[in-house]
Structure 1
Amino acid sequence: MTDTARKPIFRQRPRLSQPAASATQDYEVGYGKPPKTTRFKPGQSGNPRGRPKGSPNVRTIVRDLMSEKVLVETGRGKRKVPVIMALIMRKRAEAMKGDHRSAAFLLTLYSEAVPDTTEQHSKSQSAEELSESDRAILEAYEADLARRLGKDGE
Structure 2
Amino acid sequence: MNDDTPSEPEDEYEIGYGKPPKQHRFQKNDGRPRGRRKKGVANVKTLIREEHARMVRVTDKRGRVRMRPNLAALIRQDVQEAYRKDRVRERNINRALEFDAEDEAHAAAKTQGALLSEDAIILRRYLAPAPDASAPATGDDEHFERFDSTQYEGRDD
TM-score of the superposition, structure 1-length normalised? 0.39
Q: TM-score, normalised to structure 2's length?
A: 0.38
